[in-house]
A and B are shown apart, each in its own frame.
Chain A
Amino acid sequence: MEVPILKQGQFLIATIQAALSDADLLQLRSALAQQVVRFRSRGVIVDVTPLDVMDSFASRTLREIAHIIRLRGAETVIVGIQPEVAFAMVQLGLTLEGVATALDLDEGLAYLNEKLKSTS
């Protein structure tokens, strides 16, 4: 299932709609890597609210997305990690270290706006 990516001003917003297979996650990674270039985006938000499991592969792929986007000079923020999912991630030892996270889409946008202000 493909993840829709919405362009909103200088940002891209990827809103995950349902559980993702590994192939879907890899597809999201390459789509974001391409679109951030095409639209000269400054920030990316990945909304993972509907994800009910974040295992090692999903976590690693999100980290890779954030690192790829950073190499393009843009920022990534992951929003909407559910409390149970966060609990399971910690038990599993997945910390998403080095990746910005925020509570929801609003907080994510606020984070990116703040980041842009401080760098421009």
Chain B
Amino acid sequence: MSEEIQVPIRSDQDIVAARKKGRELALSVGFSASAATLVATAISELARNIVLYARSGEIQVRSIELPQRKGIVVVARDDGPGIANVRQAIQDGFSTSGGLGLGLPGVRRLMDDFEIVSSPGYGTKVTARKWLL
């Protein structure tokens, strides 16, 4: 049976809640403590982007059970301003907030698959998966 959690993101407190629930789900899917930490860290960065750029949004974490493999998918969705240059946003060192510019490229490194859909005025949706070996 697939499990799913949903956490509305509006403040820095919600970032903590999202990564905590995401870690628990990753552990219940069978990820090691170390891999669950990677997932929790990725969730933290994605939730932080929502607070920082969109003010509010949602983090959804779901287990994936395919005949061949199991894993976890994290979806971060917001109706914020969107990203004009997605290619640039996923490059190392790029930041518009005076941050470290590690957010999206960092998430890409922490997870196995990474997709982003965004356009100015329509918000952003990031989907990132991690597979159990």
Which A residues have a C-beta under 8 Å from some C-beta of B? 19-23, 52-57, 59-60, 83-85, 87-89, 91-94
Interface contacts beyond A52-B40, A53-B19: sample of 7 additional A-B pairs, CB < 8 Å, sorted by A: A55-B41, A57-B48, A60-B99, A88-B41, A92-B106, A93-B106, A94-B102
Instruction: Tell me the nearest residue of chain A to B45, going by C-beta.
Output: A55
Structural contact, A93 and B12, CB atoms closer than 8 A: no
Instruction: Tell me the nearest residue of chain B to A26, going by C-beta.
Output: B12
Instruction: Tell me the nearest residue of chain A to B101, going by C-beta.
Output: A56
Structural contact, A91 and B109, CB atoms closer than 8 A: yes
Q: B38: CB under 8 A from chain A?
A: yes
Structural contact, A56 and B37, CB atoms closer than 8 A: no
28 sample A-B contacts, Cβ–Cβ < 8 Å, listed by A number? A21-B12, A21-B13, A21-B15, A22-B15, A22-B48, A23-B12, A52-B23, A53-B23, A53-B44, A55-B45, A56-B99, A56-B103, A56-B106, A59-B100, A60-B100, A84-B36, A84-B37, A87-B34, A87-B37, A88-B38, A88-B40, A88-B110, A91-B109, A92-B41, A92-B109, A92-B110, A93-B92, A94-B102
Q: Whole-angstrom distance from the CB of B109 to the nearest CB of chain A? A: 5
Q: B86: CB under 8 A from chain A?
A: no
Count, chain B residues at interface, CB 8 A = 26
Structural contact, B100 and A56, CB atoms closer than 8 A: yes
Contacts of B33 in A (CB 8 A): 84
Contacts of A55 in B (CB 8 A): 41, 44-45, 48
A94 to B37, CA, bound (A): 14
A56 to B48, CA, bound (A): 9
Is chain B's interface secondary structure helix, strand, loop, or mixed overall?
helix
A43 to B34, CA, bound (A): 32
Q: B83: CB under 8 A from chain A?
A: no
Known contacts A21-B13, A21-B15, A60-B100; is A85 also within 8 Å of B106 by CB?
Answer: no
A59 to B45, CA, bound (A): 12
Q: B16: CB under 8 A from chain A?
A: yes
B14-52, CB < 8 A from A: 15-16, 19-20, 23, 33-34, 36-38, 40-41, 44-45, 48
Structural contact, B48 and A85, CB atoms closer than 8 A: no
